[in-house]
Amino acid sequence: GIVVSSLLKNTGMVTVDPGFMNTASCESEITYIDGDQGILRYRGYPIEQLADSSSFLEVSYLLIHGELPTATELDAFTDRVNRHTLVPEAFRTFLGTFPRGGHPMAILASAVNALATYYPEALDPHDDEAVELATVLLLAKTRTITSYVHRAMKDEPLLYPDAARGYVDDFLRMTFARPYEEWQANPTLVAAMDKLLILHADHEQNCSTSTVRIVGSSNATLFASVSAGINALSGPSHGGANEAVLLMLENIRKGDDSVETFMKKVKNKEDGVRLMGFGHRVYKSYDPRAAIVKKHADAVLDELGAKDELLDIARGLEEIALSDDYFVERKLYPNVDFYTGLIYKAMGFSPAMFTPLFALGRMPGWIAQWREMMKDPQTKIGRPRQIYTGPTARDFVAVENR
């Protein structure tokens, strides 16, 4: 609940709302969520329809510009993004300088932040042309950087982008093809990746998006704001959960715990163990994104000939959870992260790459939210208040007298 205090006389009343359970930070026209009914819409369009019929760049345009593009607008936007997919040559060395075991999210956040140093003409947050350029640069180059982070981790040579290919098609080629290989995309894989990116594209005022907005509220650049968002996303309570889910499933498969023992630990809150990929601040019913991913996981794994025992373990955990009082009373359902990792794994990504893939998908949402905030006349620098609980005034004591 909200604790109300009137300790600070200059503002009248201050509300204390840890975790912002009941505090709206803004008005927004971008994404609608009804957490009780499990509804998610981007700019009014149901997520199910967009996942079925749209493409990631079309959804990006929709989120950022507010309307679905005409065919001409979509062509121009796609073309512009694809023509910016090259990254500065120095990045190829820069990305190779991180330790092999370094987490890809740390590398991705650093690289996206560093982009700002190459594009001074894209930095002014109040210049429409600069913001449009920064938007295209971020969509285009984050894709290339994500595939380079994957390859650098494996000590594999970095491939140049091919602007003639589709956004997702070329991303998969740059990530998985051998140099000089005549690479043919598996259409099932491209379609699945496109769908996953759409499902992650925005989710209103979550932890990373609120971070992007609060950093931007100081008039920091879009690059700086989005880089902060990537760092916020990295935590296991947020985007990092997709990696944590896979590690949890693998531990169960290895026999560290049976499904039943593991669930007992979760319910007894032993060592803070949680069923990763379950629960959500806003959804108190099935996450509509998880429903879509679950529906497709089997088909994608089948198509790739990658039947995975982990999928059965995940289904087993879900079955127990959905009929168990602990989860039912707390309204804990699978969230988007519960099944996504199984698809990414089947595609050939290592678990450490799962959250960077989330970041790639969330990029248009962060950009759209940042742009909306910058144009909102109500925007002020984000600056929460506090209730001070420390010592009252006391005199300094010299070190020799302590």
Is 274 one of the binding residues for ligand ACO (CB under 6 A)?
Answer: yes
The DSSP line for 56-80 is HHHHHHHHHHSSPPPHHHHHHHHHH
For residue 301, what are the contacts with CB-CB under 8 A and spacing of at least 6?
307, 308, 311, 342, 343, 346
Check if the beta carbon of residue 38 is closer than 8 Å to that of residue 283: yes
**CA-based nearest residue to 171, from 344, 50, 387:** 344
Is 341 one of the binding residues for ligand ACO (CB under 6 A)?
Answer: no
The binder of ligand ACO chosen from 277, 341, 356, 365 (CB under 6 A): 277
Residue nearest to ligand ACO (CB): 279
The binder of ligand ACO chosen from 237, 251, 258, 261 (CB under 6 A): 237
Is 330 one of the binding residues for ligand ACO (CB under 6 A)?
Answer: yes
**Cβ at position 254, least distance to ligand ACO in Å:** 20
78/206 with CB nearer ligand ACO? 206
Cβ neighbour number for residue 44 with a 10 Å cutoff? 10
User: Looking at 103, 203, 280, 296, which residue is catalytic?
Assistant: 280
Helix/strand/coil for 14? strand
**CA-based nearest residue to 29, from 387, 259, 393, 373:** 373
Check if the beta carbon of residue 388 is closer than 8 Å to that of residue 5: no
Check if the beta carbon of residue 167 is closer than 8 Å to that of residue 78: yes
Instruction: Give the contact letters, 206-225, x = binds to ligand ACO (CB under 6 A), - = no.
Output: x-------------------
For 14: left if phi > 0, alpha if psi spans -120 to 50, otherwise beta; the answer is beta
DSSP 8-state class, residue 290:
H
Instruction: Give the contact letters, 107-126, x = binds to ligand ACO (CB under 6 A), - = no.
Output: --------------------
Is 332 one of the binding residues for ligand ACO (CB under 6 A)?
Answer: yes
Of 141-149, 224-232, 272-280, 295-303, which segment contacts ligand ACO by CB under 6 A?
A: 272-280
User: Looking at 169, 170, 287, 337, which residue is catalytic?
Assistant: 337
Of 26-34, 162-170, 236-244, 294-302, which segment contacts ligand ACO by CB under 6 A?
A: 236-244
42/77 with CB nearer ligand ACO? 42
Is 253 one of the binding residues for ligand ACO (CB under 6 A)?
Answer: no
32/118 with CB nearer ligand ACO? 32
81/108 with CB nearer ligand ACO? 108
How many residues touch ligand ACO under the rule CB under 6 A: the total is 20
From residue 136, give the alpha-carbon distance in Å to each of 129, 131, 164, 360, 390: 11, 9, 17, 13, 47
Report the distance separating Cα 29 and Cα 372, nearest Å.
Answer: 8
Is 265 one of the binding residues for ligand ACO (CB under 6 A)?
Answer: no
280 as an active site residue: the answer is yes
337 as an active site residue: the answer is yes
Instruction: Give the contact letters, 186-205, x = binds to ligand ACO (CB under 6 A), - = no.
Output: --------------------
Report the distance separating Cα 220 and Cα 39, nearest Å.
Answer: 33
The binder of ligand ACO chosen from 166, 216, 239, 365 (CB under 6 A): 239
Of 5-13, 131-139, 291-299, 335-343, which segment contacts ligand ACO by CB under 6 A?
A: 335-343
The binder of ligand ACO chosen from 1, 12, 18, 19 (CB under 6 A): 19
For 219: left if phi > 0, alpha if psi spans -120 to 50, otherwise beta; the answer is left
The DSSP line for 231-282 is HHHTSTTTTTHHHHHHHHHHHHHHTSS-HHHHHHHHHTTGGG---TTB--SS
Residues in the chain: 402
Report the distance separating Cα 281 and Cα 293, nearest Å.
Answer: 20
Q: For residues 21-80, which are near ligand ACO according to CB under 6 A?
A: none
Residue numbers of the site for ligand ACO (CB under 6 A)?
19, 206, 237-239, 241, 266, 274-281, 330, 332, 335-337
Active site residues per annotation: 280, 337
